[in-house]
A and B are shown apart, each in its own frame.
Chain A
Amino acid sequence: DVKVTQSSRYLVKRTGEKVFLECVQDMDHENMFWYRQDPGLGLRLIYFSYDVKMKEKGDIPEGYSVSREKKERFSLILESASTNQTSMYLCASSRQGIGTEAFFGQGTRLTVV
């Protein structure tokens, strides 16, 4: 069974902390994505990566960075967490190619206090 695993289901962090959200996929997918989900706003793309060490900004990259040192792992970094980054974060992966479907992790509910 294909799997995208996010390291934490729930996280509580303090304002100003550096936060790492980890995502691992076991499908040998080239593409990996980080989305943020907020009520009424749907899924908004933060960053994605189409290859190791490659990254592209999505629609809302401000305040975030990413790291992809290995094909199976894609990390989202909040350099200095703020309360407006309290949200659900979803990681996904997909094969390279046009129109390929994305497989999602369970999500990480991050609360910044």
Chain B
Amino acid sequence: AQSVTQPDIHITVSEGASLELRCNYSYGATPYLFWYVQSPGQGLQLLLKYFSGDTLVQGIKGFEAEFKRSQSSFNLRKPSVHWSDAAEYFCAVGAWQAGTALIFGKGTTLSVSS
């Protein structure tokens, strides 16, 4: 069965420091992978997605993610974190066939210290 694991429940990073959020997936074929961000009290916004091709994917707000098939990982990175990046981040694996739903990890909460 498809699944997504985000090993870190909560991470605190200093403003200006680099960030890496981990995501591991279990999937039987080529995965479609997503990162979403949720600010407090809001819905989810898509940061980036991987379908195929270049394994380093660029997204909005200066985020990027790297797909590593050998490690079944899709980690999210940002070189310099801003206070406004404090939010909850969700990794998801995409529909494996038409008419199915995204499967989400449990999320990682990012706090940014000054």
The reply to whether chain A is a binding partner of chain B is yes
Residues of A within 8 A of B (CB): 4, 31, 33, 35, 40-43, 45, 48, 50, 56, 58, 90, 92, 94, 96-107, 109
CA gap between A105 and B51 in the complex, in Å:
24
Distance between Cα atoms of A100 and B29 in the complex (Å) = 16
Complex Cα spacing A4 to B46, Å: 14
**B14 sits at the interface (CB 8 A):** no
CB pair B32–A98 under 8 Å, yes or no, is: yes
Contact residues in B for A58 (Cβ distance below 8 Å):
101
Select the residue from B43, B49, B94 with max chain A CB neighbours within 10 A: B43
Q: In the complex, are the beta carbons of A43 and B90 less than 8 A apart? A: yes
Q: How far is the CA of A48 from the CA of B106 in the complex (A)?
A: 19
Question: Across the interface, do B99 and A50 meet the contact criterion of CB distance under 8 Å?
Answer: yes
In the complex, chain A residues whose CB is within 8 Å of the CB of B49: 101
Please state if A105 and B104 are interface contacts (CB–CB under 8 Å).
Answer: no
B43 touches A90 (CB 8 A): yes
Asked if A107 and B43 sit within 8 Å, CB to CB, the answer is yes
Encode contact with A along B86-114: 1 for CB under 8 Å, 0 otherwise. Answer: 00001000111111011011110000000
Extra 9 A-B pairs, beta carbons < 8 Å, given A94-B102, A98-B97, A104-B45: A35-B104, A40-B9, A41-B106, A56-B99, A90-B44, A97-B95, A100-B95, A101-B49, A106-B43
Determine whether the beta carbon of A48 is less than 8 Å from that of B32. Answer: no
Residues of A within 8 A of B107 (CB): 42-43
B94 to A100, Cβ gap below 8 A? yes
Instruction: Please determine whether A99 and B95 come into contact, CB atoms closer than 8 angstroms.
Output: yes
Closest to A90 in B: B43
- Are B101 and A42 closer than 8 Å at their CB atoms? no
Chain A residues contacting B9 (CB-CB under 8 Å) are: 40
28 inter-chain pairs at a CB distance below 8 angstroms, sorted by A residue, are A4-B43, A33-B101, A33-B102, A42-B90, A42-B104, A42-B105, A43-B44, A43-B90, A43-B107, A50-B98, A96-B98, A96-B99, A97-B98, A98-B32, A98-B94, A98-B96, A99-B32, A99-B51, A100-B94, A100-B95, A101-B34, A101-B94, A102-B101, A102-B102, A103-B46, A104-B45, A105-B43, A107-B43
